[in-house]
């Protein structure tokens, strides 16, 4: 620890233990889709992006949306965890480790939230079958209720994905259980209409996500940190609210998760709950994919405008903190030294940031050195649409990503 760390943020620069992994401080880069994996292969731009995050002071960076199954890819160019991507992922983790940080792979399956069907995939998997409202944008108008055999296969895919992540040099895996992807589709009463032991009560809706967590812990839990990211409130009528969020946290703690990442909202129904502020109309001008243009239009048309407020999820997250002892990563509107101090005082073990570190990868280092106390990020959300540009995700107030680097595979 340097001598010029202010008393206000000193506690955030104390090492923390997450399962078998010790992090040098409490700051982690939250998973954000960077659009830097052409044909599912990490690019040199992605390596540079994540290495820059840890060079800027964060203890760990999270590589988003690593699909564990071919039928679970949400978007074009999403990373797939397989033997072909291992050398490129190893190039990324090696670069992160050279900068003195740790790397986490966010492992996920899109369920019915997919826009790029695989050959022969007419009906995507989900907790329940029937009409697929997400499929209105991709032509997959119906989804298929998962059978027990499907669940066993996907749970095994998560375990295999975690083992591949370890082989690629990752220090942690983050199981994505939020935002409307497959495991979230089991948790949410908006999506889960089953009448068997995997539907109905929250205890039943938790059954498959808990099985996935157990399979991952059994596969890698002694050697890697295993985190779970979930929506502590879905922010939409008929969805889970904070009371369910507390119960989910308790169940994941009981199952053995090493840490929980506290997010909120659903991609389709309540994205402003997730980001804490509205999306600008300018985003549609950046996006060339007509499906994504339509999705953004519908979100802006039907969601109420929301003005950004710092620590916008704190009132919910502190209820989770009061209910469990497992390490918690707060996510949602951390932008200042004052916010860091508040989260330390409130007992959060980790602080996850997305937009702030996209805007300024060196924000943590500058905070530690006393060079700044407030981020310059305006929470305009225009970085979200930048993932569809040739250079990938970047802050519109800074330098755009390099299209050439983003076209080159990470290894080779």
Q: Which residues 6+ apart lie within 8 Å of 84 measured at CB?
A: 41
What phi and psi, each to the nearest 5 degrees, are found at residue 25?
A: -150, -170
Structure tokens of 87? 């050398």
| Burial degree of 203 (CB within 10 A; 0-12, 13-18, 19+) | exposed
* Radius of gyration from C-alpha coordinates of the chain: 20
Q: Take residue 35 and report the two structure tokens written for it.
A: 């659009």
Determine the length of the chain.
412
CA-wise closest residue to 313 among 338, 350, 293, 343:
343
Q: CA–CA separation, 240 vs 260, rounded Å? A: 17
Catalytic residue among 181, 191, 198, 330: 181
**Residue 153: φ, ψ to 5°:** -65, -45
Q: Which residue has the tokens 């929506």?
A: 231
Of 157, 349, 163, 354, the C-alpha closest to 258 is: 349
Identify the CA nearest to 164 among candidates 95, 48, 226, 84.
84
Is 96 within 8 Å of 168 (Cβ atoms)? no
Taking the C-alpha atoms of residue 126 and residue 240, their distance in angstroms, rounded to an integer, is 17
Closest residue by Cα to residue 139 from 257, 274, 290, 363: 290
Told to judge if 198 belongs to the known catalytic residues of this protein, a careful annotator would answer no
Number of Cβ atoms within 10 Å of the Cβ of 78: 22
Question: Can you tell me the distance from the alpha carbon of 14 to that of 12, in angstroms, rounded to the nearest whole number?
Answer: 6
> Which residues are CB-contacts of 164 (< 8 A; sequence separation ≥ 6)?
81, 82, 83, 86
Question: Any idea which residues carry the catalytic annotation?
Answer: 181
């Amino acid at each position: 620890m340097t001598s010029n760390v202010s008393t206000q943020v000193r506690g955030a620069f104390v090492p923390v233990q997450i399962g078998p992994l010790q992090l040098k401080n409490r700051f982690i880069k939250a998973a954000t889709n960077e659009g830097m994996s052409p044909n599912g292969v990490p690019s040199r731009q992605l390596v540079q992006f994540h290495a820059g995050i840890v060079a800027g002071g964060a203890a760990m960076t999270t590589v988003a949306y690593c699909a564990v199954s071919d039928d679970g890819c949400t978007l074009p160019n999403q990373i797939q965890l397989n033997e072909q991507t291992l050398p490129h992922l190893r190039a990324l983790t090696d670069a992160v480790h050279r900068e003195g940080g740790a790397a986490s792979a966010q492992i996920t399956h899109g369920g019915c939230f997919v826009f790029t069907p695989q050959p022969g995939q007419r009906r995507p998997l989900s907790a329940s079958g029937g009409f697929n409202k997400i499929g209105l944008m991709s032509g997959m108008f119906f989804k298929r209720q998962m059978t027990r055999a499907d669940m066993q296969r996907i749970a095994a895919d998560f375990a295999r994905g975690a083992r591949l992540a370890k082989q690629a040099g990752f220090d942690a895996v983050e199981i994505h259980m939020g935002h409307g992807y497959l495991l979230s589709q089991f948790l949410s009463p908006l999506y889960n209409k089953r009448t068997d032991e995997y539907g109905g009560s929250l205890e039943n809706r938790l059954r498959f996500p808990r099985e996935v967590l157990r399979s991952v812990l059994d596969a890698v839990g002694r050697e890697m940190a295993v985190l779970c990211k979930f929506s502590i409130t879905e922010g939409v009528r008929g969805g889970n609210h904070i009371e369910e969020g507390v119960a989910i946290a308790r169940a994941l703690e009981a199952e053995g998760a090493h840490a929980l990442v506290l997010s909120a909202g659903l991609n389709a129904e309540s994205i402003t709950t997730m980001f804490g502020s509205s999306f600008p109309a300018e985003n549609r001008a950046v996006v060339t994919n007509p499906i994504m243009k339509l999705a953004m239009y519908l979100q802006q048309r039907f969601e109420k405008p929301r003005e950004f407020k710092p620590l916008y999820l704190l009132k919910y997250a502190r209820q989770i903190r009061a209910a469990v002892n497992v390490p918690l990563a707060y996510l949602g509107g951390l932008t200042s030294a004052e916010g860091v101090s508040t989260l330390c005082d409130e007992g959060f073990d980790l602080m996850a940031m997305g937009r702030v570190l996209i805007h300024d990868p060196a924000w943590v280092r500058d905070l530690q050195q006393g060079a700044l106390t407030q981020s310059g990020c305006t929470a305009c959300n225009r970085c979200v649409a930048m993932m569809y540009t040739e250079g990938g995700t970047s802050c519109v107030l800074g330098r755009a990503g390099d299209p050439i680097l983003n076209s080159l595979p990470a290894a080779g």
